[in-house]
Structure formats: C-alpha cells, structure tokens
Amino acid sequence: MLDDSTSACDNDTDRSIRQAFAKYLPDVTKIIISQRISSLQDCERILVLNNGRMSGWDTHENLLKDNQIYKEIYALQNESGGDFDAPKARKEGAK
C-alpha cells in the first residue's frame, strides 16, 4: 500500500516508480493513494472519494466521462501541467 508516497516527487520520478512497479512486481496487487491523477490513471480501478464518501469506482476513461469531481480534478491538474513542483517558468512554457 502506497499512501501518497510520491507526493514529493516530480512527475518524471513518479512515472519511473510506477514503471518499476509494473516491470518488477507485475503480479502484485498495489493499492495507491494519491491526489495526482497521473499516478492513478493506469490503475485497473480508481476509487474517488469526496468528503469521505465514495463518489466513483471505475477506470480512468470511464471516470472522465461520468464523474464530475474526477473530471474537475483532472482538468485543474492538466491546466497546471500536472507537475505542482515544477518551477513557475516551466509551467508557463518558458525554457
């Protein structure tokens, strides 16, 4: 069980960790708790909670279609580039 374990990581490091799990622990059930949708979108099922209550339980694709809370979080994270630790200049497209 990973409880927001990659919250302090940038997106590239988070992606590397998820790829390592898939490669080296393919048949192990993983429970990942995260606020970062990019950390969850490849999971078989995602549980969406709102104020401690279940708001959705489905795949990333289906939640984007049917779950308003998930759609809003996804949109906000994509607007910001999804990397909350990135320097402001990089978020705005500067090099």
Spell out a b/e string for 17-52, using b for 16 or more CB atoms within 10 Å of the CB, else e: ebeeeeeeeeeeeeebebebbbbbeeeeebebeeee
pLDDT digits (tens, 9 = 90+) for 10-67: 889 988 998 999 999 999 998 989 999 988 998 999 999 999 999 999 999 999 999 9
Q: CA–CA separation, 37 vs 60, rounded Å?
A: 9
The pTM score is 0.73
pLDDT digits (tens, 9 = 90+) for 70-90: 999 999 998 866 555 554 444
CA dihedral in degrees (9, 90, 39, 78; nearest 10)?
Answer: 150
- Which CATH number describes the domain made up of 2-84? 3.40.50.300
